[in-house]
Structure 1
Amino acid sequence: MVHVPRRDAPPSVHHVAARAGVSLATVSNVLNHPERVADATAARVRDAIAALGYTPNRNARALVSGRTRSIGLVVTSLRNSLFTDMVSGAQAAARERGDTLIVTNSDDDLDAQAEHLAFMESTRVSGILLASMTTSRAQVEAARQHGLPVVYVNHEPEDVDACAVVVDNEQAGYVAATHLIEEGCRRIGFVSARPDLQPVARRRAGLLRAVAEHPGVALVDVDAGDIDPPGGTDAGARIAAMSVEERPDGVLGVTDLLAMAVVTELRAAGIRVPEDIPVTGCDHNSIAWGGAVPLTSVTQHGEDMGAVAVELLHAELSEPASSHVHRTVVLGSELVPRESTVGRARAVAAARAGRPSDPRRTEA
């Protein structure tokens, strides 16, 4: 005789097992390790789940296993489409693996980031993806000491041995600067701030490499004070106030938000973009793609970074800690020309030719 549990509460795994005529262990395997169960048996269990309307209790499972089928993602800013793209890519990749993605935003505040990491640990996530502007060594080491693997996204840790996925920011700066030089610019104004931030430093290194390869081209550093739009507004006003002889004849903003603010100030001063001063950004923020003068920029492949980060995390979770080798995946960058450097006609032609091919991917 098959014992059928009472239904005084929502359906449980016991009800599923009784209806399907299998053991509790078999139901557990269907939910957690379906590859261990014969197709016909797994189908019976899934039919029972559907008929009963059973929903697995993630909290109960976490108490047994110590972890949920969840991944934490802490981003530094959701105001930049690069990070929202990361969320999209990571969520799609997590869903394919049966995981749930939990997202928090630190707004570039290290104290808030620490609170979010603690929250992730309290929810018993399996691991954390950290899209930070810094290595945050102490915070990451604390999480790892509690058994949580951490994968860096958009930042290559310099003093922590961990997996990471980044875009080649030096290449991004090089590509953007080379484009301005090919457009005839000989005094490249680099509008930037926060040289302590890894993307800023690496984009400047790429710009310097491009300048060094072209005799007669000079770099004009323009300190914006901040990487947010107000810094670009101030930098743009200072550039517009320069004499024609001293001001840059091309501008590279280390972020698209800076570059977009520069464009606004130049046009307000009667300086044409791109006819008088071409302007390019460097991080492909979708907020700068429209407007009166759509901004040329460099791809950052946020969705790809998010998906690869999930891949790296699962690889680390599936391997013994003693044998796991941390690796860094580097994605390439491609220029996306728009009106701010090439004018409308050429921008339309470039758009019709199609977007760049898939990102070049290397590993270290």
Structure 2
Amino acid sequence: MAARAGVSVGTVSNVLNHPGQVRPATVEKVRAVIEELGFTPNANARSLAGADSRTIGLVVVDLRNTLFVDIARGAQREAAAEGMNLLVTNSDSDDSLQDAHLELFESARVSGVLLAPLSDPAVGVQRVRRHGTPLVVINYDTGREDCCTVLVDNERVGHLAARHMIELGRRRLAWVSELGALQPVQQRQVGVRRAVREAGRGVGLTEIDTQHVDGSHARTAVERLLAVPARHRPDAVVAVTDLLGASIVQELQEAGLSVPGDIAVMGCDHDARAWGGAIPLTTVRLEGEEMGVAAVRLLAEEVAEGGGHVHRTVVVQPSLLVRESSAGRVPVPGPTTTRALGSTRRGV
């Protein structure tokens, strides 16, 4: 390797362990050779796992989002059942950090890797597969045939949400999202459109682009809703995420509108971060724990079967969770009076 890069062995060692001590151009040249040769250093990772380790790694995009916490919880439970140890890392929505975590697990010679990204992880997946490490991608359809995949049916997520609003009698729906960006967003949008199309005449759809899937642009979205005359204004909002849905509820209330009286609102990803509002938010449960369990089972199969393993995709079905933001408050039964044994009532 050192000869291929035209540097000393000591320089290669410094690039691997102390890159700050090496000129950037040299670091880039050595890393290009490392990538070309498919070399994976393991000196600093032997304490984590040996060549025949029963340790697997999980890289998730954002542990603040409880979908990925649920995935990790399910994976942990199934890993224990399979006699495996699970190491979890969080890339914090940073693709370069995600790739660094994948390199760490490769260095540790883990038995296999679970990857739950938000955007296309092609570079990292290609590196892991080139080295022959078993890999399962969660919550993203890479379209690859050289690894297993576990997905939630995101088109059904959007369809369930829109159909729920339509079944409640809402006829002017608004889909509020960062339009056309992330794969799950695109698929949920397809499901919403299909539900509206299936409902036929009398049900319409407005699509509002928020530039982001969190709640940071909720005010702008609500301003656009309120700019429409009341008789034409959407009477239901389907937000792509719970964080966005909860923020829209708050903005509508501050504007003097009733939720769900004037406008029903729901989210689409069962994120616990959005559950603290005064009005409980209707959402679609993505069954993250089930996804984590399925991913570990696929990985364990590949570890056991080796080169004879047939890669496949498991699709987990979401479920609707109805709360007050769409269906209204369920009346609490009042206290009942029970007549004591032996007592009498007038007129009896």
Q: TM-score, normalised by structure 2?
A: 0.78
- Structure 2 letter corresponding to 1:141: Q
Listed one character per residue, the Cα deviations across residues 129-149 of structure 1 (whole Å, up to 9, x for unaligned) are 111112311211101111211
- Pick closer, same or farther for the CA change 1:184–1:60 going to 2, 3 Å: closer
Q: Is it true that 1:264 corresponds to 2:263 in the alignment? A: no
Structural mapping, 1:1-364, within 5 Å: 59=46, 62-63=49-50, 66-215=51-200, 216-321=202-307, 323-345=308-330
CA distance in 1, matches of 2:233, 2:62: 32
Q: Report the CA distance between 1:62 and its aligned residue.
A: 4.4
CA distance in 1, matches of 2:58, 2:217: 28
CA distance in 1, matches of 2:260, 2:47: 60
Aligned CA-pair RMSD: 1.9
Listed one character per residue, the Cα deviations across residues 68-90 of structure 1 (whole Å, up to 9, x for unaligned) are 22111111111111110011110
CA distance in 2, matches of 1:122, 1:59: 8
| 1:353 alignment counterpart | none
CA distance in 1, matches of 2:130, 2:86: 22
- Structure 2 letter corresponding to 1:286: A
- The 10-residue stretch of structure 1 (118-127 or 294-303) with the greater mean CA deviation from structure 2: 118-127
Q: Report the CA distance between 1:207 and its aligned residue.
A: 0.6
CA distance in 2, matches of 1:223, 1:144: 37
- Structure 2 letter corresponding to 1:187: R
Q: Report the CA distance between 1:327 and its aligned residue.
A: 0.7
Confirm or deny: 8 A CA contact 2:157 2:268 kept in the other structure. Answer: yes
Confirm or deny: 8 A CA contact 2:160 2:320 kept in the other structure. Answer: yes
Listed one character per residue, the Cα deviations across residues 16-41 of structure 1 (whole Å, up to 9, x for unaligned) are xxxxxxxxxxxxxxxxxxxxxxxxxx
Listed one character per residue, the Cα deviations across residues 46-96 of structure 1 (whole Å, up to 9, x for unaligned) are xxxxxxxxxxxx947944xx2422111111111111110011110111112
CA distance in 2, matches of 1:287, 1:138: 31
Gaps of 5+ in 1: 1-57, 350-364
Q: Report the CA distance between 1:217 and its aligned residue.
A: 0.9
- Structure 2 letter corresponding to 1:135: D
Q: Report the CA distance between 1:231 and its aligned residue.
A: 2.5
CA distance in 2, matches of 1:78, 1:173: 23
For 1:313, what is the secondary structure of its paired residue?
helix
Confirm or deny: 8 A CA contact 1:236 1:261 kept in the other structure. Answer: no
Confirm or deny: 8 A CA contact 1:69 1:100 kept in the other structure. Answer: yes
Gaps of 5+ in 2: 1-44, 334-348
Confirm or deny: 8 A CA contact 2:179 2:209 kept in the other structure. Answer: no
- Structure 2 letter corresponding to 1:212: R
Q: Report the CA distance between 1:214 and its aligned residue.
A: 1.1
- The 10-residue stretch of structure 1 (128-137 or 266-275) with the greater mean CA deviation from structure 2: 128-137
- Pick closer, same or farther for the CA change 1:73–1:343 going to 2, 3 Å: same
- Pick closer, same or farther for the CA change 1:184–1:300 going to 2, 3 Å: same
CA distance in 2, matches of 1:67, 1:248: 58
CA distance in 2, matches of 1:132, 1:306: 13
Confirm or deny: 8 A CA contact 1:137 1:159 kept in the other structure. Answer: no
Q: Report the CA distance between 1:108 and its aligned residue.
A: 1.7
CA distance in 2, matches of 1:107, 1:59: 26
Q: Displaced runs of 4+ in structure 1, greater than 3 A?
A: 58-63
- Pick closer, same or farther for the CA change 1:120–1:60 going to 2, 3 Å: closer
CA distance in 1, matches of 2:190, 2:95: 26
- Pick closer, same or farther for the CA change 1:152–1:61 going to 2, 3 Å: closer
Q: Report the CA distance between 1:262 and its aligned residue.
A: 0.7
Listed one character per residue, the Cα deviations across residues 227-278 of structure 1 (whole Å, up to 9, x for unaligned) are 1110234323332343313431100001111111111111110111000000
CA distance in 1, matches of 2:178, 2:270: 18
For 1:320, what is the secondary structure of its paired residue?
helix
For 2:127, what is the secondary structure of its paired residue?
helix
- Pick closer, same or farther for the CA change 1:61–1:136 going to 2, 3 Å: closer
Confirm or deny: 8 A CA contact 2:145 2:311 kept in the other structure. Answer: no
CA distance in 2, matches of 1:96, 1:74: 20
Number of aligned pairs?
Answer: 288
